[in-house]
Amino acid sequence: MPEVLDDNTRTQLGEILKELPETVKLVFFGQKPESPSCAQQRTILQEIAEVSDKVRVERYDFVKDRDKALEYGIDKIPATAVVTDRDYGIRFYGLTMGYEFSSLVEAMVLVSTGRSGLPEDFSALVGRIKQPVHIEVMTTLT
C-alpha cells in the first residue's frame, strides 16, 4: 500500500500531536479478506501513529473480534473509534481522508484534552440531556 500522507502533512501533524496531553488510541475495525477501503483506512491510521508516540493503533477483526465490536458499538466497517482511557463515543465510519482527515485530527485533540471545545454557557442546555443520544453525521470526503 503506497503512503497516504505526504511529508508536509506529516510535519504539520507531528506538530499538533506532539502537544497531546494524553495518549490517543485509534481502535480500528476491519475484516479479512481486507476490502480496499479497509486497507486504506488501516494504512492512514498506521501512518498517523508513526508520526507521534502519543498515538496508538489497535486493530480488530469485525467478525472474529465480535466482542470488541460490541464493546465499541461498531456496526459497520471500516470503523475507527477515537478514545483515550475514556471513551467519549466518537466513531468514524469509512475513510478519514480529505475533509474528514481534519475532523479525525480534531477529534484526537478533543479526546486527548478531554474538552469538548464548546462555550461555557452550553452546559445548562447540555445538562438537560439525560438520555442516550446517537448522532450520525453523514459526510463525504470532499
Q: If DSSP codes are grouped into helix, strand and coil, which group holds residue 82? A: strand
Classify residue 64 by its DSSP letter: T
Burial class (CB within 10 angstroms; exposed 0-12, middle 13-18, buried 19+) of 108? buried
72-131 positions binding other proteins, by CB under 8 A? 73, 76, 78, 88-96, 100, 103, 107, 110-111, 114-118, 122-123, 125-131
- Least Å distance, CB 58 to other proteins, is 18
Between the two ends of the chain, the Cα-to-Cα distance in Å is 22
x/- mask, other proteins, residues 4-43, rule CB under 8 A, reads: ---------------------------------x------
- Least Å distance, CB 25 to other proteins, is 15
Residue 136 is a binding residue for other proteins (CB under 8 A): yes
Q: Any idea what the Cα angle at residue 42 is, between residues 39 and 44, rounded to 5°? A: 110
Question: In terms of residues, how long is the chain?
Answer: 142
- Least Å distance, CB 28 to other proteins, is 14
Closer to other proteins by Cβ: residue 7 or 126: 126
